[in-house]
Structure 1
Amino acid sequence: MRVAAEAPELTHFTDGQPRMVDVSAKVSTARTATAEGWVVLPPEARAALDGGHNRKGDPLTVARLAGIQGAKRTSDVVLLCHPLPIQGVEMDVQLLERGVRVQATVRTSGQTGVEMEALTAVTVAALNVYDMLKAASKAIRIEDVRLLSKSGGKSGDYQAE
């Protein structure tokens, strides 16, 4: 017989009302998060990317820039996210057999983590790849956006399996 694990406390609600968590008493530490996602390309979108036939420019370069901007603007689109002083964003955007792999690593030193910034960077980059290749195919898919790792803070380190 399996015993149910106790659910973690969700901190964005008090008495059923949304709130921004007060992090003022937390210790400032170095924090890093890495996320990834995939843009799966049907053959016609892959051909357009491989052939460089895109009047809008290079989708992979645009995705890198868009991801950096996405990390910086996370608190504008994730409503209860704290605006953070982002100290570094690394974007790795590669065309592989499966499609375009997008990976973002975000760093800060502060009182709250950068997981949402890394996830937003990946998602925004993937959306820009879709936008630039959608004329070739509407069947492009964005898949498997996930946190790969995080370090720093009270909850410690995390590494995806």
Structure 2
Amino acid sequence: MSESLTHFNEQQRARMVDITEKQVTERTAVVKSRVVMKPETLNRIKAGRVGKGDVLAVAQVAGIMAAKKTSDMIPMCHPLALTGVDIRFSDNEKDTLYIDVTVKTKGMTGVEMEALTAATVAGLTVYDMCKAMDKEMIVGPTYLVKKTGGKSGDFSNDIEISLAFE
């Protein structure tokens, strides 16, 4: 790990990192998240019986929009031309909705923040649409599974995060 913090200038003030000299490469980030909820909440989402509409369709669009707007929310993120955002949902047939996000670009900086933002906003959208029936939902953890491309090379997180609430 680098000892210097790249988001600070010589005056120790925040700065956006200069990527002018970086090479354009294909870059991908894969992120996982989840929303733990009451079994009835998950059943209603899957059956399309939530009063605000199709929860997964809205969460998917919200996540894609969030990926595209990450630099508007995270001050030191570079605006990126994303070439792909894919959000997939699955569940454990019990009480957990899983969110898997893949974000791609050809650029000079990675898309980890865009993928993390997409997954988080998708989870928050599920919470927002279902909070009237289940205020106890838990969003997260949200974490980087892998990234490809760039000067720092590929990264793979072999740890499967679990919730230790039981």
What's the TM-score, normalizing by structure 1? Answer: 0.91
Q: CA contact under 8 A between 1:112 and 1:153: conserved in structure 2?
A: yes
What is the alpha-carbon distance in structure 2 between the residues aligned to residue 12 and residue 116 of structure 1?
A: 15
Q: 1:13 is paired with a residue of what secondary structure?
A: coil
Cα shift readout 1:82-137 (whole Å, capped 9, x = no counterpart): 00000111111123245111111001011100000000000010010001110111
Q: Any residues of structure 2 matched to 1:31-50 within 5 Å, and which?
A: 31-50=27-46
* 1:20 partner amino acid: M
1:13 aligns with 2:5: no
What is the alpha-carbon distance in structure 2 between the residues aligned to residue 7 and residue 91 of structure 1?
A: 32
* 2:136 partner amino acid: A
Q: Displacement, 1:7?
A: 5.3
Structure 2 segments unaligned to the other structure (5+ residues)? 159-166
The match for 1:127 is 124
Q: Displacement, 1:58?
A: 1.3
Q: CA contact under 8 A between 1:39 and 1:99: conserved in structure 2?
A: yes
The match for 2:163 is none
Q: Any residues of structure 2 matched to 1:139-154 within 5 Å, and which?
A: 139-154=136-151
Structure 1 stretches of 4+ moved >3 Å: none
What is the root-mean-square deviation of aligned Cα atoms in Å? Answer: 1.4
Deviates more, 1:8-17 or 1:120-129: 8-17
Percent identity at matched positions?
46
Cα shift readout 1:61-101 (whole Å, capped 9, x = no counterpart): 11111111111010010111000000111111123245111
1:96 aligns with 2:92: yes
Match of 2:75 among 79, 82, 90: 79
* 2:133 partner amino acid: A
Q: CA contact under 8 A between 2:42 and 2:97: conserved in structure 1?
A: no
1:158 aligns with 2:155: yes
Cα shift readout 1:14-35 (whole Å, capped 9, x = no counterpart): 2321000000011111100010
What is the alpha-carbon distance in structure 2 between the residues aligned to residue 42 and residue 88 of structure 1?
A: 32
What is the alpha-carbon distance in structure 2 between the residues aligned to residue 50 and residue 109 of structure 1?
A: 35
What is the alpha-carbon distance in structure 2 between the residues aligned to residue 10 and residue 45 of structure 1?
A: 43
Cα shift readout 1:9-66 (whole Å, capped 9, x = no counterpart): 2211123210000000111111000101010012342343244321211111111111
* 1:86 partner amino acid: L
Q: 1:120 is paired with a residue of what secondary structure?
A: helix
The match for 1:54 is 50
